[in-house]
Amino acid sequence: MDKQLESEVRAWIDDDPDDETRAQLVAALATNNEEQLRSWFAGFLEFGTAGLRGSMGPGPSQMNRAVVGRTALGLASYMKARGLTSIAIGYDARHRSYRFALDTAELMAGAGITAHLMPRTLPTPVLAFAVNHLKVDAGVMVTASHNPPADNGYKVYLGGEVDGIAYRGSQIIAPADSEIAHEIAS
């Protein structure tokens, strides 16, 4: 087993808040499954105009609670730097969507941002409507839309005007996508 990879995996295990993904990593280490570990640690899931989308699983290249948490904290940092103080968070019926939405709401609240977690699963357009209706500064929809069932995703919306761009509940565009990505990486 490559020592640097093993070190990265062990550090991830120490910080992973999820029992399921932590157990997958421990099992892969125990069986010296270097090929699988390399796949899971092949870089960070990239944030862009579509937000995040990817297969659910352990490690930085998959959708999981650790990646969602890092993304939520980066978004919170972006919001706070612009005086944005409120967010609506929705989720669909995919596996882990509610958990990812709840983690996002808790992390946003911990960062001092008022978080409105939608009361049940809902289609993506309802979240965009909620951003306007609730007059919040941002929105997150946990969904992978048309992607395969083993995937999940994290779409970001902005409300009102941000950095001179009138969003009004629409998905982010440049330069907000790269600015949020920068905060996530920080």
Strand partners, 171: 157
Report residue 174 as tokens. Answer: 């440049």
Give the Å distances, CA to CA, from 123 to 19, 50, 102, 108, 147. Answer: 29, 16, 17, 22, 15
Q: Give Cβ neighbours of residue 181 (< 8 Å, ≥ 6 apart).
A: 46, 47, 48, 74
- Given the residues 39, 77, 145, 170, the one annotated as active site: 145
Query: Which residue do the tokens 């995040």 mark?
Result: 52
Residues 153/52, Cβ–Cβ less than 8 Å: yes
Instruction: Decide if 61 is catalytic.
Output: no
DSSP 56: B
In the chain, the amino acid numbered 112 is G
Give the C-alpha separation, 93 to 155, whole Å: 15
Active centre residues (catalytic): 145
